[in-house]
Chain A
């Protein structure tokens, strides 16, 4: 089946999840405390698992199998947003990115539960619970640190200000979005962004962090068109290093 708009939709989400899953996994063994290290690594693994399930749907639509798609594409063939490509930075940045991304992810999965593409709707229903925990994790930390010491709040505010333009890039509309919305595959990025802004605002209002004026921020677009930051290619090199040694290996 050749359905370019549907494939776009699936690739955007799957690539976001794979790349952020890989990025967040870079904290394994380095987390701020043991318990958080395990939680963060575990959620990173969930994201890679979700990306695998989406690549599987793409495979059913005639794309190469998930391993090929994940490990053998050049950076220009990826459709992830820039937010997920950025290096992990200090923990507060990774935490803020996780909070901003997963807030959108939860809303996206909830919306996708009523997708007209039944396999996608089923998958969204299956993964919503997993992402509900990711969302709870992100906002609980933000509430905790956003009401903590001056040092914590200062660092968190800087991370928020740094991450926001990139976070808005999550909602870059794909080229064939009219078709996606028209066929009921997904409700669209603009609606999602509006819901996301409201939810992020609600959560930040329960902290001492300064509320952003989303309308004054220039979103980092380009990822959905295959234009990426300089950080994606080295990530892909590292991620596929073992795969390339033995492409037919079974693990």
Chain B
């Protein structure tokens, strides 16, 4: 086919439409884990990002260096498989994600502990809000609405406590030296200052 345009969006308009999509091959990679970092004792653990890993222990190993290798401090770290996280509907503005919950279903099964995370503001991270006991994640969301709903979150994550793999209290010393590792921050090298001083010397 002769090229009619260099703009890929134009070229895509002429794509064949009678193609049947082939079946997607299974992913040849590890599953993902959500990572939560607690920077200080008086701050809640906060979502930091994801890692790929074959199991919880490996996810923890990777998360530690991925998300707490620099910064002012860290006192604890936890990972949970992404597919163990139940996610509520997102709402906007001053709406409450708990108001958008579907009605509670019939109570069923034994109850277990769930960890609840709230997104308070778009562009921020989900933060630990509290724990609830419930039979399943939707029921946990309704339980959380009663005890934690006053926070008016834009989105709620709920994960079984049993699926979380967290650092022990005695492992806080993993991060003893973290505040000193300023050499991992580009700003610590003060390159702009050095460049300006160099330019001043060249000019003078």
Contact = CB atoms under 8 A, between A and B. Distances in A.
Interface stretch (A38-46, A88-96, A191-199, A202-210): A38-46
A43 B181 CA distance: 12
Interface string A175-216: 000000000000000000000000000000000000000000
Interface string A118-141: 000000001111101100110011
Nearest to A128: B173
A33 interface: yes
B53 A35 contact: yes
A129 B176 contact: yes
A68 interface: no
B65 A42 contact: yes
Contact of A36 (B62, B69, B171): B62
A37 B73 CA distance: 22
A35 B52 contact: yes
B176 A126 contact: yes
Contacts of A42: 65, 69
Q: Is the interface on chain A under 10, 10 to 19, 20 to 34, or 35 or more residues?
A: 20 to 34
B101 interface: no
Contacts, number: 60
Interface in B127-176: 171-176
A128 B62 CA distance: 19
Main secondary structure of the interface of A (DSSP, over half): helix
Given A35-B52, A39-B64, A129 B177 contact: yes
Interface string B46-62: 00000111110110011
Interface string A28-55: 0000011110110011011001000000
A144 interface: yes
Interface of A: 33-36, 38-39, 42-43, 45-46, 49, 126-130, 132-133, 136-137, 140-141, 143-144, 251
Interface of B: 30, 51-55, 57-58, 61-62, 64-66, 69, 171-177, 181, 183-184, 189
Q: Which 5 A-B pairs have the closest CB atoms?
A: A129-B173, A35-B62, A39-B65, A129-B176, A42-B65
Given A38-B66, A39-B66, A132-B174, 8 more contacts: A35-B62, A35-B65, A38-B62, A42-B65, A45-B181, A46-B177, A130-B176, A132-B173
13 contacts: A35-B52, A35-B66, A38-B62, A38-B65, A38-B69, A39-B65, A43-B65, A46-B177, A49-B177, A127-B177, A129-B174, A130-B177, A137-B61
